[in-house]
Structure 1
Amino acid sequence: MTRHAERVTQPRPQERAPTSERTVSIFIGSAVSRDTEGKPRAGGGIWYGQENPRNMALQLLDNEPQTFQRAEIAATLIAVQQTARDQPLEIYNSKSLVGKELNQRLQAREDRGWVGMADRDLLQALAAKLRARTAQTKFCNVDARTQDSTHLALQGRREALTLAREGCLHGEQTLINLYIAPADQLRGAKLSTLTQAVAYAGIKERREPVARRTTANNIKLISAAIQQVFSLCPTPMEIWKSIRHKDFSRQVKNFLWKSVHGAHRIGSFWTHIPECGERATCSFCNETEDLEHVLIKCRRPGQTQIWSLAKNLWLRKHHTWPEPSLGSALGCGLAIFKNERGKISPGLTRLYRILISESIFIIWKIRNDTVINRAGEPVPENLIHNKWLQAINLRLTFDRILTNHAKYGKQNSIKSCLVLQTWSSTLLNEDSLPGDWIKQPRVLVGIEPKSSHPSSQPSGRRGRGR
């Protein structure tokens, strides 16, 4: 179905120049791929027609965010710049990202001075260019799932996407003209609609971000680990976004954010405080107790056992276990696992995120219980085992609850198929469970808890007389 959105630019009658030229139809496509080094690449495609010399495959510059939306806006801006001002124009795309921004949200964006808006440099230039046109401009959305779309529209959509994919890997990086005439440029926010929150956000944007050496080193560490384990080269923006992944609990998100910033009170933090230098050293290993030592290298009971439990549960579902490192643990939100056909496996990837994030957080909590609350006394192995098992079973229970109950909101709900894909092959007595086990009253992962009683004595009551 080809839907015509509200007209974006309706020039005033006295400004419209009479023209007899036919309407120009332009098809826009966008795509994101990764190059041979694993770096993300975004490209756009502009298709005018078969064997048209103006067909273009463009690639975003290295210093720009590599996203679908930015590639589509860039391609749209170039197409508008290459079209005469007095020539009617129809722009077709498959996602209608640009049409929604310009038709429905443009006024609100300009009223708040574009504060906090992504890709505002491109959108501002595009809005100014459209306002300067004297002919009509339409944005059209092509939906391939309906029978109302014309053959030309579907063909244009396919050709534009082909050009966009070609631009991701082989297109030339395009420098886009972002010049806005002073008469068309709007500066600042509209005072009558300005709020304190928008004003505060605008002030923060004007400040230069504070450079933190520890944060920069951790970002590089995560990027190198993800590239080594998963053959990806994430950008800093992707790393920060992965820390807020919806598969993580709120406590885990806070822990990861502090970890990347080096905000935990461990290791070198204590060396700068008088009479507290001994706290920088692990009392069990006699080594500097930085975050890598706590999560990966420490020989204190708990860390090795938890990684062993996570590995055993993972091997029930997958044949290989990526050995954890500090970078891969902090960047587990970027992990990607593929099936035999080479496509991303959502269930396998989600299980890995849950196992790694919950494991490192349990290790951290056990370390705090050992060092602070128990004055260095080791936590019993059976308690460590049961704590980890309780955390994983709690995540499984939450998945079942959020699937069965819509009252928790659409944002928190999880599709039942994703829950089944995540936990299949890891459950206790799974052969006796039905295919759709989500509504079963009690479902647990396939690791038994450990009893706290000595093995030489039977379980139950003991130590009482007759």
Structure 2
Amino acid sequence: LAQAGCLSGEQTLINLHIDPAEHLRGAKLSSLTQAVAYAGIKARREPVTRKATENNIKQITTAAQQVFSFCPTPAEIWKSIRHKDFSRQVKNFLWKSIHGAHRIGSFWTHIPECRERATCNFCNETEDLEHVLIKCRRPGQTQIWSLAKDLWLRKHQTWPEPSLGGVLGCGLATFKNEKGKNSPGLARLFRILVSESIFVIWKIRNDTVISRDGEPVPENMIHNKWLQAINLRLMFDRILTNHAKYGKQNSIKSSLVLQTWSSTLLNEELLPGDWINQPRVLVGIEPKSSHPPSQPSGRRGRGR
């Protein structure tokens, strides 16, 4: 039949018109999945731009240019906050932070009976995210950034001074070693230190404002909370090197863990080269006691 059609000298017109009653549009319900339907709805919606989001993206872009010497696209920035080196809590915190979705600062100015919550009761300034993470003079953020800097300088020569764009864009971190090549371990340590630090600062702020009614958290507690968070990350890294238990997708290479934490450990000179399975491996900052050292009591002599 096909050969006969080719050899025929006559041109056959085929009616391709579709009857409107039979012209079906959209998706077939019997084969439609929730994922396909949701993707279709998202594709039809116009993206809504928020002023706070745009400002934060600009700050992250500027900080990345200054600290990491490259200009990320917005897509790269959004991808960076889902980095596998971040915990789920940190990922959620970063997403809300970039969107300006935390209930702080100007959020409360639109509620007459809660307007006083917009101001930091310690500094008497608007308590936006930059104030909480970088500028607040209440005990917390300054001490934590000092601890992070101390640990970082054990491994690298310079510490980038924290800025709002820099800490929100810490997932973009890239650093080079002495040979000028990218250092995955160095970049990973930076991501862990900065992300865990900002989340500890945020939790301490909430504890101060909500649970302690504005009374600052003692400095020894701040010190120990940060140290606990970093030591937990070190412990999880060591545990996740078990490929047999956690599989290829969820486990971490031992070599990457060693690269990440080398030069930052307590009494590292006494540890073997591969300390992954050694007990009580901690970062090289000591905890602070919650009680002042007791004074030896003098012995009274018997009177004559």
Q: TM-score w.r.t. structure 2 length?
A: 0.87
- Take 1:440 and 1:343, find their aligned partners in 2: how far apart are those partners? 30
Q: Identify the match of residue 274 of structure 2 among 426, 430, 436.
A: 436
Equivalent of 1:319, from 157, 167, 178?
157
- What code does the residue aligned with 2:38 have? Y
Question: Aligned-pair distance for 1:229?
Answer: 1.3
Residue from 206, 209, 213 that aligns with 2:44 = 206
Cα distance, 1:208 vs structure 2: 0.5
Distance in 2 between residues matched to 1:199 and 1:408, nearest whole Å: 33
Task: State the aligned residue count.
Answer: 274
Q: What is the Cα deviation at residue 378 of structure 1?
A: 0.9
Match of 1:413 in 2: 251
Q: 1:371 matched to which residue of 2?
A: 209
* Structure 2 counterpart of 1:394: 232
CA contact (8 A) 1:329 1:357 kept: yes
Q: What do the CA deviations read for 1:55-78 (whole angstroms, capped 9, x no partner)?
A: xxxxxxxxxxxxxxxxxxxxxxxx
* 1:210 CA drift (Å): 1.3
Indicate the structure with greater strand content. Answer: 1
- In structure 2, the residue matched to 1:81 is none
SS at match of 2:186: helix
1:197 aligns with 2:35: yes
Distance 2:270 2:179 in 1: 29
Alignment of 1:11-22 (within 5 A): none
Mapping of 1:124-203 within 5 angstroms?
A: 193-203=31-41
Amino acid at match of 1:394: L
Question: Could you tell which deviates more after superposition, 330-339 or 198-207?
Answer: 198-207
Deviation (angstroms), 1:404:
2.4
Give the equivalent residue in structure 1 for 2:76: 238
Structure 2 equivalent of residue 265 of structure 1: 103
Task: Tell me how large the CA RMSD over aligned residues is.
Answer: 1.6
Look up the SS of the partner of 2:249 in the other structure: coil
Whichever residue aligns with residue 273 of structure 2, its letter is G
- Cα distance in structure 2, aligned partners of 1:426 and 1:200: 46
> Per the alignment, in what secondary structure is the counterpart of residue 265 of structure 1?
coil
Amino acid at match of 1:271: T
Deviation at 1:322, TM superposition (A): 0.6
Which residue of structure 2 aligns with residue 256 of structure 1? 94
Q: How big is the shift at 1:188?
A: 6.4
Give the 3-state SS of the residue equivalent to 2:203 in structure 1: helix
Give the one of 293, 299, 304 matched to 1:455: 293
Q: Which whole-Å deviations, capped at 9, do the CAs of 1:391-420 have from their partners, x for residues lacking one?
A: 000000000000025322322100000000
Aligned to 1:423: 261
2:169 is aligned with 1:331: yes
Q: CA deviation at 1:456?
A: 4.5
Aligned equivalent of 1:279:
117
**Which whole-Å CA distance do the structure 1 matches of 2:33 and 2:216 have between them?**
53
| Aligned AA (2:118) | A
Uncovered stretches (5+) of structure 2, i.e. residues with no partner: 4-24, 297-304
Cα pair 1:404 1:439 within 8 Å, conserved: no
CA distance, structure 2, for counterparts of residue 318 and residue 404 of structure 1: 28
Please list, as runs of the form range in 1=range in 2, the aligned pairs for 1:283-298 lying within 5 A after superposition: 283-298=121-136
For residues 276 and 188 of structure 1, the distance between their equivalents in structure 2, rounded to whole angstroms, comes to 48
| 2-structure distance, mates of 1:398, 1:200 | 35
Displaced runs of 4+ in structure 1, greater than 6 A? none
How far, CA to CA, are the matches of 1:457 and 1:350 in structure 2?
44
Q: TM-score, normalised by structure 1?
A: 0.57
AA aligned to 1:233 is C
